[in-house]
Chain A
């Protein structure tokens, strides 16, 4: 339990620190930063303590919560999960410090910023460690929400708010698909956690539904990890402050989808033939597309956003290739190296992009020409940016080079395993992506190192006027934290790249032994083969492309139009649908409800209306004399019903309606339903009072409305017949094999069960306390401490026992609805407006509507 507590602490420490920060006075800058730093530090400490205690291969830990619903708080800190959790907390610490430098001494901004950032940290560590599907989903959605808050951080910038919406809609829609997939997977496999799923034999599961579940989960993962065609939200998310871009949108959150696929990989990859067929093409296309668009962008953050898209495609592709087995060896992935590598160069790129925006007040490439030569701090930042960009280009002596070699190796491996011609396309895509990355690096270097002067620092303000990008300069140690986090992150790239042993020490323990290839070298060793040739080709072509005067100029990503089109479709289509459904015409509503009821009833009976009727039992006549009063009263009811549409005056209509109601009441009373009679009587009285109140508002006679009497008659008769049939069926129905629970024997109908069990029912004493059955009543305890349980409701009035006991849950729902309806009426009636000629504005509309919502019809009149 201690280890579980450590993990829970590691998850929630950042969010708690964020909350604590909100309790601090707004001006307390130092304390705020201190508390904010505490969050990730505690998280790191918790994770480290867990590893020291439980090691890397511990089983899931946690608590049960609702076993019946498969909801629990099970956390599984396996190697992949631990790596992610460390990544999130570690980079989170650096970003917390960077944010302080980025926002400057702006206490108000940090007051709002840190809690959102820390909420994300908690959610993301939770995603990494959750074992239960639903728990994962919970944290997953939390990352979407916190990402939304952070992208739209600049609330005054409508573009930022729009982009935040876009990111949220895309990732949350993916989350919905993923929820469907996870639930489907849970239902068919009867396991609700990854660790249990790994032990199941997936071959026994129904293949079709397994594929459906996988596709749904992949949609969620792909939307989150910005795979084509959902990738457009990620460049849009660059409206966020740069610390957010560096943290959420390059290093951590966008990897959540990749991470999920990584979790599924050992379980599903080999069992599912669709795995590579779906993931590899989408990943490869995303990889190529991202790299190409990145080359054609001029804003630093946009460039890095699109290279992030590209790298995410590569990561997906890596997992997709993991399905191929060659020489009995599954594909080597070294996925943690790939993910760590990306975090180690992409986060620094963003961090420095923000720092450059601080110093140069622009992020546009053409305005940054010669930035390197503008002073000592510029020199430092440009150098760091180029070091990170060199890693992005996967240049030799970086971890990135090894990673890219491993990716090419995976392609090679898959090619050997399948000999499929499609791998030629994949090889081409890999080389092309490498080429584009090298070209991006060379162009960045040429701009930053080049001579000449970028034009103007000042007009940049309009371009991307992120107020927080240009705070007043401050002195002290904090400005250094604009670049220190980048240096901390980019350094391991080179240490690991130059000294293989150092890299082994860094990630060897966590990467090694996850896979079958314990003997495969963790670091790259030169040997002539396809991977090396691919790298060489990428370098050569990239250098040429970097200097060549082709593929210049800025382009727009055509996918940017997807979301606005979708948004318009939803809002306009929704409006159109609304106007179609909500006609405001009471007659239409009534007809729709009636038809729906008829259809549902027939559908429920399998379109064989006579199948469930036991007409003999229902129509058993006890003797004409017994039923004589019923015939008389039924005649009154029919007479009243026929008179209703004929009578013109409203007061008379109320009286006729009352006659019908009281006749029904009498029928209830005569035929042994005193409860119903009592209720019906009260209802009649209440409706009479209501009618009396409303009558004063209405004209004496109903307006002449054009109606189609024939259609209405047919509808009315059909509804009447269906109700008659339903009642008859309910009273006589003999549905075979109905419920058997708790009480004695089987029952042909639910009603019979209620009748027999309402009072005492069977005494099922000595039933253990945890074996209680729905609808049972506890009557004290037996001598041995077990509960005395009766399966009855303890009352002889069946109606009330059903209401408050057997179907108490229904009643609770009903009174809740009743209360809500009353709230609605009060709210509507509270809009007091001057009352002018009520209900006469729109003749032809249902008069009842006018009466029920008088306020509605006075929209034109101006309140004082």
Chain B
């Protein structure tokens, strides 16, 4: 499937998709998006890269194994939920606040659910990329 057209398009599409994924991850709480979709978009970008440039190139670009992504994501999500316990709050209590950034027009609104969402994103990315990768390897 690695044609010139795909390779050329991938050079533009993959970075753009990754950037878009980041964007919808950060905007997720207020406008369409969120960790799940961001994970899917990331995965599609990674797979397009793999289709265009092959397995070796993917391993070169993405050093982390998919399994690691899933494990880290799950731990991150669980950690966010458990974090409330030592503070004497119920399981899964989330906290958020505002961070004044020098030079920024508006303060950055942070929330612990962002870490949770990041966990979701990592798991989704890891699962989709890993499954398709494994299937492709089976075919090659």
Contact = CB atoms under 8 A, between A and B. Distances in A.
Interface of A: 674-675, 677-679, 682-683, 685-686, 689-690, 692-694, 696-697, 769-770, 772, 774, 776-780, 793-797, 799-801, 803-805, 808-809, 811-812, 815-816, 818-819, 821-823, 825-826, 829-830, 832, 854
List 6 tightest A-B contacts by C-beta distance, closest first.
A795-B29, A682-B40, A800-B34, A674-B32, A822-B127, A815-B123
B6 interface: no
B11 interface: no
Given A769-B88, A777-B96, A778-B93, A803 B127 contact: no
A690 B135 contact: yes
Contacts of B24: 678
A773 to B, nearest CB: 9
Contact of A797 (B32, B43, B47, B123): B32
A772 B90 contact: yes
Contacts of B32: 674-675, 677-678, 797, 799
B3 interface: no
Given A686-B44, A808-B92, A829-B138, A822 B120 contact: no
A770 B90 CA distance: 9
A809 B70 contact: no
Contact of B74 (A675, A693, A808, A819): A819
Contact of B90 (A692, A697, A774): A774
Interface stretch (B52-60, B99-107, B109-117): B109-117
Given A693-B136, A797-B34, 19 more contacts: A677-B32, A678-B24, A686-B132, A690-B131, A690-B135, A777-B95, A779-B97, A797-B30, A800-B34, A808-B116, A809-B92, A811-B120, A812-B77, A818-B127, A822-B66, A825-B131, A829-B135, A829-B138, A854-B138
A804 B40 contact: no
A772 B93 CA distance: 9
A694 B135 contact: yes
Contacts of B113: 793, 804-805, 808
A396 B93 CA distance: 70
A803 B38 CA distance: 14
Contacts of B66: 822
A809 B29 CA distance: 17
A780 B88 contact: no
Interface string B2-41: 0000000000000000000000100011111111110011
Contact of A804 (B73, B109, B120): B120
Interface string B68-87: 00110110011001000000
A794 B111 CA distance: 9
Contacts of B138: 829, 832, 854
A805 B109 CA distance: 16
B128 A686 contact: yes
Given A821-B127, A825-B131, A815 B74 contact: yes
Nearest to B66: A822
B101 to A, nearest CB: 18
A777 B94 contact: yes
Dominant SS at the B interface? helix
Given A674-B32, A778-B95, A779-B97, A800 B117 contact: yes
Contact of A682 (B1, B31, B41, B77): B41
Contacts of B136: 693
B19 to A, nearest CB: 15
Given A772-B93, A774-B90, A819-B123, A795 B40 contact: no
B78 A812 contact: yes
A778 B92 CA distance: 11
B132 A818 contact: no
B40 A815 contact: no
B134 A696 contact: no
A818 B47 contact: no
A803 B36 contact: yes
A136 B35 CA distance: 44
A678 B39 CA distance: 12
B62 interface: no
27 contacts: A674-B32, A675-B32, A675-B33, A682-B40, A686-B44, A686-B47, A690-B131, A692-B1, A693-B132, A693-B135, A693-B139, A769-B89, A772-B89, A777-B95, A777-B111, A795-B30, A797-B29, A797-B31, A797-B32, A797-B33, A800-B29, A804-B35, A808-B94, A815-B73, A819-B71, A819-B73, A826-B130
Nearest to B50: A689
A861 to B, nearest CB: 15
Contacts of A685: 44
Nearest to B35: A804
A815 B44 CA distance: 18
Nearest to B120: A815
Given A679-B40, A815-B120, A804 B127 contact: no
A696 B40 CA distance: 24
A816 B127 contact: no
A131 to B, nearest CB: 26
Contacts of B139: 693, 696-697
B28 to A, nearest CB: 5
A822 B35 CA distance: 18
Contacts of A772: 89-90, 93
B33 to A, nearest CB: 7
Contacts of A780: 97
Nearest to A787: B89
- Pick the most buried of B44, B51, B66, B91: most chain A CB atoms within 10 A of its CB: B44
